[in-house]
Amino acid sequence: MKILVENSGYYLKNMGDLAMLQVGVSRLEKLFPGASINVFTLDPKELKKSLPGTNPISPRGRDTWVWPLVHKLHNSQHSSLRQKWQGIERYLIQHQPQLRSFVLKLKLQRFPDESIEMERFLGLLREADLVVATGGGFVTDTFMKITSPKLDTLAYAAKLGKKTAFLGQGLGPLENPANYRKAKEALAMADLIFLREKRVGLPLLTEMGVESNKIAVTGDDAIELAFNARQPNVGSAIGINLRMASYSSVNHDYVDNLRSVLHRVALEKSADLLPIPIEHAANNQSTHADSNSIKSLLCGYDNSSDGGASLNTPLKVIQQVSKCRFVITGSYHAGVFALSQGIPVLGLAKSKYYIDKFSGLAEQFPGGCEVILLSDQEFKETLELKMNNLWENAEKLRPQLLASAQEQIELGHLAYKRIYDLCTPTDQRLAIAV
C-alpha cells in the first residue's frame, strides 16, 4: 500500500496543522499496517522527528508540474486574455494532464534538475494507491495561491484512478469566482471529504453539488491528540493567544484593549497568564509567529516570558493548555486543544475567516465556545463579563465538553474506516476496531 499525503503547512511550524497531520497519519498507519507513507514537506528533519515512520517528499517537483505553460499569457496585463489562458491551463490540468505533462517535459529540456523532480513527483503519483490531504483551513480565498497546487494533485490523482480523500477540512470563505470554481472541480472529483465542522463546510459542498454520500462531519482530527492528554481536573491559569495576520484582520491596534482586560481579571483571580502559541516562525520569517503577539499581551504582567516560542510541538502546547481554567484565543487550534480537554474557550475574531472558524467550533462543542468580535464597541466590557463567567463555570462545563470531544473522535474513526473500505476489496477486508 502506497499513500501520498498533502498537508496544510510544509514547514510543519503550525502546531494545529501538525497535530492534524500526526493524527491523520497515525490513523492511516493503523488501517494499513506496513504502508509506505510519503508526505510533502520543506523540512525533512522536522517530519522525521514528528512522524518517524513517514518518507519526506519535496513539493518542488509538484510545483514544477503546475508551472504555467506560457508565462506571458498566464501573467498578461490584459485581464480577458489572462483569464482565458488561465482557464485553458486549468482545463489541461483537470482533463488533459498527460498532454500537459508531455508539453512541460519538452519545455524543461534546458532545466534537467526541475525535469527530474517533476518526474519523481509524477512517478509517486502514478504508484500511489491512495492520495489524501490532511486537515486544515486552506481551501479558502486567502490561501488559494498555495492551495491551488494541492487541489491539482488530488484532482490529477483522481483522474489517474487513484482513491482520494480530503480529511478534517475547514472550507471557505470562497467568494472569488475563480477560486470557487477551482475548489469545486477538485472537491467534486474526490472519493471522500471529511469536514471538521458542519456550519459552513456542509452547505458549501451541497451548493457545489458534491454528492452527500461522499461527505462526513468528523470534527477536527487534532481533537484526539488533545483529548488523550487531558488531565483529571481543570487548571488554574488563563491561556492566551492572539493571531496577528492579514487573514485575521488583527493588528497591534487591538492589543491595548485586550491586554488591559486580561491583566485586570488575572490579577483579581491571582491567575497566571499562559502563552498558547500555534503558529511558529517558518523559514526564518517571524512576522506571524504567535509568540510575538502573546509577548505584547503579557507586557507588564510577565516580562520574562518568551511568548511560548519554546512550545514547539503539538504535545507541548496541549500540555500547556491543560494547566488552564479557560482559554482566550485568536487562533482556532488553541481553541481545539482546550475544548478537547474539557476547557472552555473565548474565540477572538474579526475577519469572516475567523468568525466562521470559531462559530463552527462553537457548534461542535455546544456551550463551551463563545465568539467575541474584536470590532465590537463594547468589546472590553463583554470580554471581562465572559471571562468572569467562564472562571465560575469552567468545572460545570467540563463533562459536556469531554463528551463532545469523545463523540467527534468516534465519528472520525468511523469515517476513516470508510477509507479502508474504499481501498480494500470486500473479500479482503478485516474487522477494524473503531
**What is residue 288's predicted lDDT score, i.e. its pLDDT?**
77
CA distance 68 to 80: 17
**What is residue 342's predicted lDDT score, i.e. its pLDDT?**
98
CA distance 217 to 168: 8
Beta carbons of 321 and 227 less than 8 angstroms apart: no
How do the pLDDT tens digits run along the chain, 434 residues long?
Answer: 999 999 999 999 999 999 999 999 999 999 999 999 999 999 999 999 999 999 999 999 999 888 776 555 455 566 676 667 667 776 776 677 777 777 777 777 777 888 889 899 999 999 999 999 999 999 999 999 999 999 999 999 999 999 999 999 999 999 999 899 999 999 999 999 999 999 999 999 999 999 999 999 999 999 999 999 999 999 999 999 999 999 999 999 999 999 999 999 999 999 999 999 999 987 655 557 999 999 999 999 999 999 999 999 999 999 999 999 999 999 999 999 999 999 999 999 999 999 999 999 999 999 999 999 999 999 999 999 999 999 999 999 999 999 999 999 999 999 999 999 999 988 787 766 55
Strand partners, 229: none
**What is residue 73's predicted lDDT score, i.e. its pLDDT?**
45
- Which residue, among 431, 238, 270, 429, has the nearest Cα to 338 in the 3D structure? 238
Q: What would the DSSP string read from start to end of 260-314? A: HHHHHHHHHHT--EEE---B--BTTB-TT-HHHHHHHHHTTT-TT--TTTT--SH
